[in-house]
Structure 1
């Protein structure tokens, strides 16, 4: 049985306070535009959605929309950037005990990747990637810049996989995100918070056991 599509909301958007300055009001409007544009891309698809429809949904003029984003491709890239900037960063609290830090990162990562808007954008990219070659490079660049590089730096600081931290980071990310991949590819159910905790605990323990085993002197 196919998993129902996650329900999208505008819960994160809020009206700008009346006393906000003009620059703050403009920034708030730009953020709200990106939130609405993300939802419209997810709902209608990249090819079908027009700039006219986005302007109407966001309540801005076409002139303003094109002033902020030169075309639909630029707007879509901005929507992606707004999403990946939400990805958590691993925190190194105790280099001698990295498991707790990696577990906290893994839980935060899965909670973000199971958000309706994040899942919706991932489904959109998978669905339309064959038509738009630039999607592939956008996905790879976002993954490298916002996931692999920060995690690789964290692993290196913690003394894990010192010879190949980027390769180790990719392996760990693949293991952590397996429930999301299963949802996108085979319609498996997305995990809840309890399942996320259990999955992350198992993945991090397995990963650290393998990494420590490879680093033992022969």
Structure 2
């Protein structure tokens, strides 16, 4: 195994250990000592790759997006088809149990840590928002595209808070498709009053 691969494997082991601890004990309840013990490495090794708990948590947030490249907008689809495809991919990802657990952690602890809240805002959805903004900028001025991208994502995630409050773990594929269809109809056409 090459040195670069060993480094990546060690970093992955540390971040996976940190994820388990952050989700079990919270951000404030997790120490770098505990991460080292969980990962089976020394504390110095943890600090070699992650100089602070903030940098370790930032790496964890990055892991949630590491396989996001599976989604891309296809050429030739209609606006509605592409937004529907995006919506299903976006909501399916964000309704996964580990995403829900991380969001629950962020909600519970960001009130006591503005740093944690800032990390969440800057790392939670940049990949998805950027891709959607770029796609919508084919149809709208860039500033409008970003505002509409935020709005569509918010509509898609509107079911997340009630699920979190009921301590449910997400939505079924059928529920996701149904919610995306409803959100897309409202997003593209507004209230169907006439």
In the TM superposition, structure 1's runs of 4+ consecutive aligned residues that sit over 3 Å from their partners are 84-90, 160-163, 185-189
1:54 matches 2:28 = no
Higher helix share: 2
Structure 1-normalised TM-score? 0.78
Once residues 157 and 114 of structure 2 are traced to their aligned partners in structure 1, the CA distance between those partners, rounded to angstroms, is: 24
Work out whether residues 90 and 128 of structure 2, in 8 Å CA contact, stay in contact via their aligned partners in 1. Answer: no
State the secondary structure of the residue aligned to 1:84: coil
Partner of 1:141: 122
Partner of 2:153: 173
Q: Which fold has the larger relative contact order, with Cα–Cα distance below 8 Å and residues 6 or more apart in sequence?
A: 1
Deviation at 1:105, TM superposition (A): 1.2
Deviation at 1:128, TM superposition (A): 0.6
CA RMSD of aligned residues (A): 2.1
Once residues 165 and 140 of structure 2 are traced to their aligned partners in structure 1, the CA distance between those partners, rounded to angstroms, is: 31
Partner of 1:116: 97
Structure 1 residues 73-99: Cα deviation after superposition (integer angstroms, max 9, x where no partner) = 22111111222344465514226x111
Partner of 2:75: 93
Partner of 1:71: 52
Give the unaligned 5+ runs of structure 2: none
Count of matched residue positions in the alignment of Structure 1 and Structure 2: 189
